[in-house]
């Protein structure tokens, strides 16, 4: 161990912790926040909290909204992982709006695990083309019939609306090992390359879509999922120890409404090391996330890249979709540490790198784009270990930004 040796139970630790939910409740109670924090009620099986939120993100501008986090044990807490449900909604100065509902539920003794998400909204992103290795990367010149398309490595704003529905179910086959299946439906509509004086035929989305046989204005990517998972984390919101590994085989199918068939392999690995028995919040964490297109093609806005994970947290330091490609690989390391003794405030430092190809002259792993930063954590709900996350990061090509989220990035 790197710190003190005496181990403290979770129940004893909770008695001394103070969270934002307790602070808000104390405003409407005669009890002080400290007094309310001492009443842990460890036997309670359902926890819920909601907070207003305001933030700035380089992709969305200034945003206001509300965030809710809930947790419930559907079995004995000693042999059942806490199930979590999150909901969020916001609008921003850039004209964006979104509603997100997500869950990660475990039945008694973790026999079944259900993971799913519903996301709907409208957004705008700055589109820099495919691959890594240059400030902005064009898709290369090509011919389609009698029409010639010139390469254009410029950046273009792109607006669109989306609806994403993803549901997976896992069955435990032995300790920590699960197999499962699922469905994913992703719809992109009202796509508008806000190109000003540049012909639409020069934008990245248009050129890619024409070459791959998609409409540049609307497309779908719907598929079947087959999953293998290993999960030994002590808690899904903010793990102190354990391993999470998920391997997903995805097959987009025309009979499900997908514009084209495609096969993708998605891999994810997370590892957590708690560095102290007395202060388990001292954690070193590692995250690997990758998607490989094995066959076929996916629509342009469906290509894996920066912030394309389920919670949109990949690549702090860069805007949404800054780097992307048919195949994409991401690695991140983070150190987490408490700041106040009541655990209301904690902090993180992190570094990350990402790489993408373009199926032409840029190969995967040839170029890596780095980012790094630090952040502050406000304990949202101590029973579910939910945090409000405030991060600042800088990356390649002078990129930087503030990033807000609920729960740890991974």
Strand partners, 356: 328
Of residues 98 and 95, the one with the higher pLDDT is 98
pLDDT score, position 342:
87
Contact (CB, 8 A) for 137 and 367 = no
Q: Residue 79 pLDDT more than 70?
A: yes
Q: pLDDT tens digits, residue range 154-170? A: 888 888 999 999 999 99
Q: Residue 43 pLDDT more than 90?
A: no
- Distance CA(408)–CA(276), nearest Å, equals 19
SS (H, E, C) 321-387: CCCECCCEEEEEEEEEEECCCCCCEEEEEEEEEEEECCCCCCCCCCCCEEEEEEEEEEEEECCCCEE
pLDDT band per the 50, 70, 90 thresholds, residue 386: confident
- Would you list the domain boundaries of the chain? 10-406
pLDDT score, position 69:
77
pLDDT band per the 50, 70, 90 thresholds, residue 29: low
User: What is the pTM (predicted TM-score) of this model?
Assistant: 0.84
Report the top-level CATH class of 10-406. Answer: mainly beta
Q: Residue 20 pLDDT more than 70?
A: no
Q: pLDDT tens digits, residue range 213-243? A: 999 999 999 999 999 999 999 888 899 999 9
pLDDT score, position 380:
81
């Amino acid at each position: 161990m790197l710190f003190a040796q005496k181990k403290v139970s979770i129940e004893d630790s909770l008695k001394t912790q103070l969270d934002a939910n307790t602070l808000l409740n104390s405003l409407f109670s005669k009890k002080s926040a400290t007094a309310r924090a001492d009443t842990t009620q460890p036997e309670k099986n359902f926890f819920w909290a909601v907070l207003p939120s305001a933030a700035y993100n380089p992709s969305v501008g200034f945003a206001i909204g509300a965030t809710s986090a809930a947790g419930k044990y559907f079995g004995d807490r000693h042999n059942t992982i806490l199930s979590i449900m999150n909901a969020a909604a916001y609008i921003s100065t850039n004209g964006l709006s979104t509603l997100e509902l997500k869950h990660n539920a475990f039945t008694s003794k973790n026999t079944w695990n259900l993971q799913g998400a519903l996301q709907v909204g409208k957004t705008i992103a700055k589109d820099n083309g495919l691959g890594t290795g240059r400030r902005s990367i064009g898709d290369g010149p090509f011919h389609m019939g009698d029409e010639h398309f010139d390469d254009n490595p410029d950046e273009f704003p792109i607006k669109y609306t989306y609806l994403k529905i993803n549901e997976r179910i896992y069955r435990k086959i032995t300790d920590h090992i699960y197999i499962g299946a699922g469905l994913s439906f992703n719809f992109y509509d009202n796509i508008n390359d806000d190109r000003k004086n540049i012909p639409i035929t020069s934008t990245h989305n248009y050129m890619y879509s024409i070459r791959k046989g998609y409409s540049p204005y609307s497309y779908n990517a719907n598929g079947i999922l087959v999953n293998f998972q290993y999960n030994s984390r002590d808690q899904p919101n903010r793990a102190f120890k354990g391993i999470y590994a998920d391997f997903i085989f995805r097959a987009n199918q025309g009979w499900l409404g997908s514009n084209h068939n495609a096969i993708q392999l998605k891999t994810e690995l997370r590892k957590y090391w708690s560095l102290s028995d007395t202060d388990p919040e001292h954690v070193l964490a590692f995250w690997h996330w990758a998607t490989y297109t094995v066959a076929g093609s996916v629509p342009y806005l469906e290509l894996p890249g920066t912030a394309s994970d389920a919670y949109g947290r990949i690549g702090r330091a860069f805007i949404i979709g800054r780097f992307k490609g048919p195949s994409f690989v991401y690695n991140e390391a983070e150190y987490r540490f408490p700041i106040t003794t009541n655990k209301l405030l904690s902090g993180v430092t992190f570094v990350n790198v990402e790489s993408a190809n373009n199926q032409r002259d840029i190969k995967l792993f040839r170029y890596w784009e780095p980012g790094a930063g630090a952040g502050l954590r406000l304990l949202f709900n101590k029973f579910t270990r939910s945090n409000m996350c405030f991060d600042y990061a800088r990356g390649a090509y002078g990129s930087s930004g503030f990033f807000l989220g609920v729960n740890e990035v991974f």
